[in-house]
Structure 1
Amino acid sequence: MKIILTGATGALGSHIMFDILEQFISNKGDGKLFLISRNKGKTSAKERINTILSSDYTPKILLDFGLDKLNEFLEIIDTDLAYINDSFSEKIKDAYFIHAAGYVNLSTDEEQKDKIFNENAEITKAVFNTFSPFIKKFIYISTAFSSGARKGLIANDFHNLNFELAHRNAYENAKFHSESFVIKQCNALNLPYQILRPSVIGGKMLGTENRYFISKYMVFYLMAKFFHFTAQRKNQQENVRFAINEESGLNIIPVDYVAKVIVNTFEREDIKQLNIVHNESFNLVNGLELIMKEVGYSNFSIIQKTFDFNYTNSIEKLYYESIGKHLEPYLTAPANEYDTTLLNSILEIPKLDAESFTSMIRYARLNNFKDINV
């Protein structure tokens, strides 16, 4: 089997790489994984990949197998996705293409809009147009939030609806636009495809190795990070008001679960679209209370959404003029859940309760919210 993967140095992509390599090992050496990556400064793409495959968070089965043997499964294509070429088309003929690279940015700033769109939609189009003549199937890793702000029960199909989706930011719009492009082009070319959509990705929860680890802290982690460092800097905690829909929740799914579902699903011909999400969203008010308790910030209150919001202190102002304005559309969104019947039949969804959510935050706090960049 031949597989092409983008985004292998990312939070999710690295776990997809781990699981593919574990699968190759269990198949006694049958497989080739092409990793499209790029150098970073003076560090080559191969050096970056080798760092990930020999790290403290690399699965033990891969460490025991050894870096030299793992590299026999790999071919590194050291290039930027924006400048890819088809000079290696024969090598990758009939490969599965898993496009996991992306630019996660929930910014609502108008000046960020074009960059977010280009880093997601335009690069996806360029990659697809380059590789589609040679590959066996195109698997696009999108986001469950490409459905925008919706209420009620959300099914797996986002592209045969009788209403327009209400996207909250350029990221959601770019991912949905990319999905539409992939579906249209694949149908025209009679090329099999999949759209796989994780929700908010949290730390590992399967097994006991490196439990709650994640290499990059995003979304709810950013709120925890902000108030963790604020609590350390300020002797007196100023009251921060949060506009939250008390009935709504945040859908969080462990990174290792997402990777395993992708690796166990990409060959299936019967699945075109799949949301890789939790069966129950975590209540936003409860989540906020757990975050603030864990990071030691106690002076906050919950209010109803208001269009006339005057800041009462410097911390409230700093929060809402940084991450707060980007998170606010999610905190005030209508309540919804996802239909996970199909997903749960593929791999049982792990339980996410107050204890495990707190453990995710605690892991991040103990590691000083420091992202791992290779």
Structure 2
Amino acid sequence: MKIILTGATGVLGSQIMYEILELFVKESIEGKLILIVRGKKKKTALERINQLLSSSYTPQFLRDIGLEKLDAYIEIVDTDLDAVEENFSTTIEGAYFIHSAGYVNLSTDEEHREKIFEENTKITKIILNNFHHFIKKFIYIGTAFSSGERSGLVENDFHNLGFIPKHRNAYENAKFHSENFVAQRCKALGLPFQILRPSVICGKMLGDENRYFISKYMVFYLLAKFFYFASQRITEQENVRFIMNKETGLNIIAVDYVAKVIVSVFRREDIQQLNIVSHKSLNLVKGLQLIMDEVGYSNYAIVPNTPHFEYHNITEKLYYESIGKHLKPYLVSSAKEYNTTLLNSILEIPILDDETFTQMIRYGKLNNFRDINV
């Protein structure tokens, strides 16, 4: 079996890499994992991957096997995704192609729109157009938020809706258009495909090993990080008002669960679209309370959305002119949930309760919300 994986140095991609290697070993598969990875700064692609396979956060099962044996399963293509040479085609003949690389940016700034589109949609098109002749199946890792501004119960199929979803930012829009291109192009080619969509990714939840670990702090972690450091910088906490729909929630799912589901289903022919999400979204009011209690910021209030909102103090201004403006579209969204019947039949969905969510924030706090850059 041959599997191509992009994004192996990313938050989710690294966990997918671990799961694939474990699959090869445990099922005695004569496999080859082909990683398209760039060198970065002073590290070669090989050095970056070897760091991921020999660190304190590498699964113990893989560390026990050792780098030498693991490297025998791996072939590295050291290049940018849009610059893979033609002779790569012979290497990938008959491979499953898991495209996990992406540019996660929730910015609502117009100046970022083109880069977000290029890093997501344009590169996806290049990859599929260049290599569809040779691969066995194309698996695209999207986002559950490409569903856009919706309410009620959201099903797994986003591309036979009879309407075009309204998206909250360029990232959602780019991922949706990437999905649509993959679906339409693969159908025209007769090439099997899957679109697998995690919601907001949080730290590990399965088992006790490296529990709560995540390599990069995004979305709700950024809010926690902002107010954790704000609480340390100032002696008197300024009142911050959060514009929020009290009925809505944020769907959050553990990174190791997502990776296990992807590796469980990529060979299945009966699944084309699947949302990898929690049974129930975390209510935003409750989530905010848990975050602020843990980081030690108590002077805040929740207010309804209003067209004219003037900052009352420096902390409020700093929040809304940084992460706040990108998070606001999610905080005021309509309430929705996802149909998880199929997902739960594949692998039981872990429950993110109040205590577990608090532990996620505590883990980030103890590590100063410092990203791990490989």
TM, length-normalised to structure 1? 0.99
Distance 1:204 1:282 in 2: 17
The residue aligned with 2:83 is: 83
CA contact under 8 A between 1:86 and 1:131: conserved in structure 2? no
The residue aligned with 1:330 is: 330
CA contact under 8 A between 2:97 and 2:137: conserved in structure 1? yes
Give SS of 2:98's match: strand
The reply to whether residue 138 of structure 1 matches residue 154 of structure 2 is no
Please tell me the residue identity of whatever aligns with 2:63.
Answer: L
The residue aligned with 2:3 is: 3
The residue aligned with 2:53 is: 53
CA contact under 8 A between 1:29 and 1:73: conserved in structure 2? no
The residue aligned with 2:238 is: 238
Give SS of 1:5's match: strand
CA contact under 8 A between 2:19 and 2:259: conserved in structure 1? yes
Alpha-carbon deviations, 1:290-330, whole Å to 9, x = none?
Answer: 00010010000000111110100000011001000000000
Please tell me the residue identity of whatever aligns with 2:294.
Answer: E
Give SS of 2:101's match: coil
Where structure 2 has 5 or more consecutive residues not aligned to the other structure, the ranges are none
CA contact under 8 A between 2:23 and 2:29: conserved in structure 1? no
Q: CA RMSD in A?
A: 0.6
CA contact under 8 A between 1:148 and 1:165: conserved in structure 2? yes
Query: In the TM superposition, what is the alpha-carbon distance from 1:89 to its structure 2 partner?
Result: 1.5
Please tell me the residue identity of whatever aligns with 1:58.
Answer: T
CA contact under 8 A between 1:11 and 1:215: conserved in structure 2? yes
Distance 1:245 1:349 in 2: 26
Give SS of 2:209's match: coil
- Identity percentage over the alignment? 68
Query: In the TM superposition, what is the alpha-carbon distance from 1:83 to its structure 2 partner?
Result: 1.1
Distance 1:297 1:130 in 2: 51
Distance 2:38 2:340 in 1: 36
Give SS of 2:337's match: strand
Distance 2:85 2:342 in 1: 37
The residue aligned with 1:221 is: 221
Deviating above 6 A after TM superposition, structure 1's stretches of 4 or more consecutive aligned residues are: none
Query: In the TM superposition, what is the alpha-carbon distance from 1:29 to its structure 2 partner?
Result: 4.9
Please tell me the residue identity of whatever aligns with 1:73.
Answer: Y
The reply to whether residue 344 of structure 1 matches residue 347 of structure 2 is no
Query: In the TM superposition, what is the alpha-carbon distance from 1:91 to its structure 2 partner?
Result: 1.9
Distance 2:198 2:234 in 1: 36
The residue aligned with 2:123 is: 123
Please tell me the residue identity of whatever aligns with 2:72.
Answer: E
TM, length-normalised to structure 2? 0.99
Distance 1:163 1:8 in 2: 34
CA contact under 8 A between 1:85 and 1:130: conserved in structure 2? no
> When the two structures are aligned, how many residues end up with a matched partner?
374
Please tell me the residue identity of whatever aligns with 1:45.
Answer: A
Query: In the TM superposition, what is the alpha-carbon distance from 1:176 to its structure 2 partner?
Result: 0.3
Alpha-carbon deviations, 1:256-282, whole Å to 9, x = none?
Answer: 000000000000000000000001000
Alignment of 1:117-266 (within 5 A): 117-266=117-266
The reply to whether residue 113 of structure 1 matches residue 95 of structure 2 is no
Give SS of 1:298's match: coil
CA contact under 8 A between 1:4 and 1:98: conserved in structure 2? yes
The reply to whether residue 276 of structure 1 matches residue 276 of structure 2 is yes
